[in-house]
Amino acid sequence: MTRFVAGYCASGPVDPSYLDLAEQVGTGIAARGWGLVWGGGNTSMMGALARATRRGGGPTVGVIPKALMAAEHADAAADELLVTDTMRERKRLMDERADAFLALPGGLGTLEELFEVWTSGYLGMHDRPVVLLDPTGHYDGLLSWLRSMPAGFVSQRGLDHLVITRDAQTALQACAPRA
Ligand code: AMP
């Protein structure tokens, strides 16, 4: 069975260097014989990630709420495009299809998705890898804030549950099945 990585990243206009990063990750997913499940949009990093995965021969499964099909340019080239009535349904289907979760630089939507799989993972509700690829320090402020909270708010175990790396190959390796 093909291994699917859920990719979370920006949907808005960003510097082209971030599109290159998304492309590198998509290429790496396909090179490993894996597939991508993502938000189904064709814009920004989300689009670059999906196109690069397909270009490399990897299957892409997009999951998009009906109401966002125009705004996020639903990707007609997806191997499967699942259209949902709600955001909750989108997240449920993405979760069902994913064998690992990989977040790249992104905004509010990316953060929301990352935090859900990160928290449910550290609470023991799933045991799939949750990985943050951050070559530019996009998340440094957030991570240092989380690490600096007074005792009792964010546990070390919770922090340790997220694999954080600046290197794309390391991030992909962390998405592989555990030995
Ligand atoms: P952003 O990081 O804000 O550019 O958004 C990246 C993706 O996250 C887009 O496909 C958004 O539709 C999606 N997104 C936004 N809000 C949510 C949410 N509450 N739950 C899941 N995905 C979301």
Residue owning tokens 């005792």: 151
For the chain, give the mean pLDDT.
97
Over residues 141-159, the pLDDT tens digits come to: 999 999 999 999 999 999 9
Choose which residue among 37, 110, 142 to substitute to test ligand 1 binding: the one with the highest number of ligand atoms within 8 A of its C-beta.
Answer: 110
Q: Under a CB-based contact definition with an 8 Å cutoff, are residues 60 and 48 in contact?
A: no
Number of domains observed in the structure of the chain = 1
Continuous segment of H or E residues that includes residue 169: helix 168-174
Residue 179 clears pLDDT 80, i.e. is over it: no
**What string of H, E and C letters represents the secondary structure of 28-55?**
HHHHCCCEEEECCECCHHHHHHHHHHHH
pLDDT at 40: 98
The pLDDT tens digits of the residues spanning 41-100 come to: 999 999 999 999 999 999 999 999 999 999 999 999 999 999 999 999 999 999 999 999
Dihedrals φ, ψ of 82, to 5°? -100, 120
* CATH number (domain holding residue 57): 3.40.50.450
Residue 106 pLDDT level (bands cut at 50, 70, 90) = very high
Residue 34: give the domain boundaries: 4-175
- Ligand 1 atom closest to Cα of 39? 10
> What pLDDT score does 178 carry?
85
Quick count: other Cβ atoms within 10 Å of Cβ 57?
10
pTM above 0.95, yes or no: yes
Residue with the nearest Cα to atom 10 of ligand 1? 39
Residues at CB less than 6 angstroms from ligand 1: 10-12, 39, 41, 46, 68, 72, 87, 91, 106-110, 112-113
H helices of 98-167, in order, are 108-122, 140-147, 156-161
